[in-house]
Structures are given as structure tokens and as C-alpha cells.
Amino acid sequence: MPQPPTATDCSAPSGAPSVARRGSPGRARRGLRALAALVLPTALSFGACSSAPAPAPAPTTTVTSSTPSASPTASTADAPATPALTPLGGGPVLAVKIDNTGPARPRIGLDSAAVVYVEPVEAGLTRLLAVFTTMPAEVGPVRSARESDVDLLGNYGRVAFAFSGGSAITLAAVAKGQQVNLSFDANPAGYRRDRSRPSPYNVIGSPTQLLARAGGSVPPGDVGLRFGPAPAGGASGTSVSTAYSAASVGLTWDAGTQRYLVTTDGRSETTAAGVRVGAASVIVQTVRTHLSANQDVNGAHTPVVEVVGSGPVTLLRDGRSWTGTWSRSARSAPTTFTSASGEQLALATGPVWVLLVPAGQGVTVR
């Protein structure tokens, strides 16, 4: 890891002659001319002095050519040094809360999500917050919201949010967010019951109808995700896994599909047609949590993930991995993901899975 720059030493260079204070004027003038001849080039090479550390230079890409050129033209001199990183794009957003337990299999529409957050909930289980910018025909099973969803969606903008009810504490928190809330319990428009599935794992949403009910939605705001060429270096990153107290998730790189294929609770995540669900990039975001006053029917308190702040992060893409830091200053601010050297962590084009892992929980990357 490169060391941070230190303050420039502004004293005379080592070995430079000192100005004689005594002696003949002629010798003094000759000594001054000799000193100037030695010191001036050195001073120019050192540049201006400052007591503060010099900022690290921005990374650049050197382009070589077999044909030498006397000087760069205006077009080449002004060209960007690095490839541009693009933010999350796509059409209007529909965010959907999807059950992540066994009775909810097969999950519907998950393979079409642009971003999937794996969120810890009460009793050591997990739930998914799937963000769609391209709409599948249906999504589900749709389940109840959590307090954490307000912060998770806070930088997307005024987007449509589909869920199936929640506790009084949760609904009060969700009502304070800027998202457009589309609760099944409040209004079943845009939803249907799939009678082939057991309740409560049978609420299925229609994205087209839900967006219409919301009066539209907006494209994703700047949430901090950036897509582009892989960062330099990296370590092996062909798989990642973590275990919550009552659930587990793993993703394994498949070179044929160029995706990390998802495994939930030891079983392959597939669509109803048997197609494996996968991600182009996996973000392991270590977060602090605190317990809500909210409790489930068994008295277990709901953990709230703190996604405003900072903490460790690991990115996996293309079978490689990089470690660094995530940082977010406010609910409406983007989350930045930077490597240990300060470089922006660029994601591969395609679906992104974000594993929200409580601090202290083990994560295995191979």
C-alpha cells in the first residue's frame, strides 16, 4: 500500500555550498554565482514548498504509440486520462420487498433486478430489497417492509416501493421516507394472490400496474454505484459466502455465464423455469446494526442496518476481489466505494448483489 505523501523539506539541499559571511567581496560574488548555478535547477525541480502534504495525483493511463510526435495536439492533450465510470442507469425504479426463505421459492422476477440488497431481519433471517429499472412481468413473493428500507432507498429519489404491510413502528418509519409507498395491505391494486403457494408467501405484484398506481416513478438517482473497467490488482475472488444465525448466502463465479451464481441456504437460486440467478458484481458491505423497538410475533427484535456512515467493503467481479471502504454522509448522499489505495471501485456491467453483513459476522472469500 503506498505511503501517504509527507511535507516537502524546504531547507537547502544536502551538499549545497553555504554563503560565506566573511572574506573578500570578489570571492563572495563568485561564491554566490556558484551557489545560484547549483541551487536554481534543484529548486525548480522541488517546486513550491508547503507545510501540508501534497495531494496524491489522480491515476492516469499512459498511451504509447509507434509513431513519435513532437508535441501533443489539442485533442489528445485534452482527452480524459481514464475511462469514464457510468452510474446506475435505466428507466423508472420499482423497489420490491421479496421474501428470502424456503417457502418463497421459486422467487419471481429476481433475475431481472438491477440491484438486490440482502438485508438481515429478525430471528437471524434475511429479506431481499430488489431494485428494478427494467420491469419483469411479475415480482414476488412480496413481503413486509423494514425500517432499514427508508435509508436504503433514500438516495434513489422519489421511487415506487412495493411491499406487503408492516408493523405500526415500521409503517411510521416508512411514511417518513421520500419513496412512493405501495402497500398491499393498504390497497391491493397491482397485486394478486397465487393460490398455488401458501400464505403469506403468495402475494405477487405486477410492475406495470404498480407503477401506474404510483403515478409513475423516477430513474435512479446517484446512489454511488459506478460501472467501468476492473480496478488494478486484486486477489482471488471466485466465491463469497456468509452465514447469518438462521440463513446463509453464497455466490460462486461461473466463467461460462460471466456471473456469480447465487445460493441461498445451501440451495441454488433459480427462476421458475430453472434458470440460475446470478450477479455480475457482488458488494460485501459490513455495517453496524442496532435493535429496533419492533418485534415479530415471537418477540424477536428487528435489526436495523446503519447504511449511513462508513465501514469495510469487499468487491467481487470477474473472478477477482478487492477490499476497501464504503462511506455515506447522509440518507440522500451516494455511497462511495473506494479501494485501499483510494481508487474508485468500478463494477462490472450487469446485476449487482449487495450483502449487508453485520459487523463481526464472518465472510469467506476464495
**pLDDT interval class at 84 (50, 70, 90):** confident
Share of the chain above pLDDT 70, in %: 77
Helix locations, the chain, DSSP H: 25-46, 74-77, 148-152, 168-174, 207-214
Cell of 277: 440467478
Amino acid identity for residue 258 in this structure: Q
Q: Give the pLDDT confidence score for residue 144 in this predicted structure.
A: 97
Which amino acid appears at position 7 of this protein? A
pLDDT value of residue 82: 53
- From CA 167, how far away is CA 355, in angstroms rounded? 24
- The overall longest dimension of the chain from CA atoms, in Å, is 108
As a whole number of angstroms, the distance between CA 19 and CA 33 comes to 10
Q: Are 102 and 269 in contact (CB under 8 A)?
A: no
**Average per-residue pLDDT for the chain:** 83
Task: List, in order of start, the domains of the chain with CATH numbers.
Answer: 86-214 (3.50.90.10), 226-365 (3.50.90.10)
Q: Is 159 exposed, middle or buried (0-12, 13-18, 19+ CB in 10 A)?
A: buried
* pLDDT, tens digit, 9 for 90 and up, residues 250-279: 999 999 999 999 999 999 999 999 999 999
Q: Which residue has the higher pLDDT, 45 or 165?
A: 165
**Integer Cα distance of 116 and 112 in angstroms:** 10
What is the number of residues in the chain? 366
C-alpha triplet 114, 120, 124: angle, nearest 5°: 140
Question: Is the pLDDT confidence value at 162 over 50?
Answer: yes
Residue 256 to residue 269: CA distance in whole angstroms: 17
Percent of the chain with pLDDT over 90: 76
Reading the block at residue 116, the C-alpha cell is 438486490
Report residue 189 as a C-alpha cell. 391494486
Q: Give yes or no for residue 78 having a pLDDT over 60.
A: no
* Tens-digit pLDDT profile for residues 339-363: 999 999 999 999 999 999 999 999 9
Q: Could you tell me if residue 153 is left (phi over 0), alpha (psi between -120 and 50 degrees) or otherwise beta?
A: alpha
Higher per-residue pLDDT: 39 or 361:
361
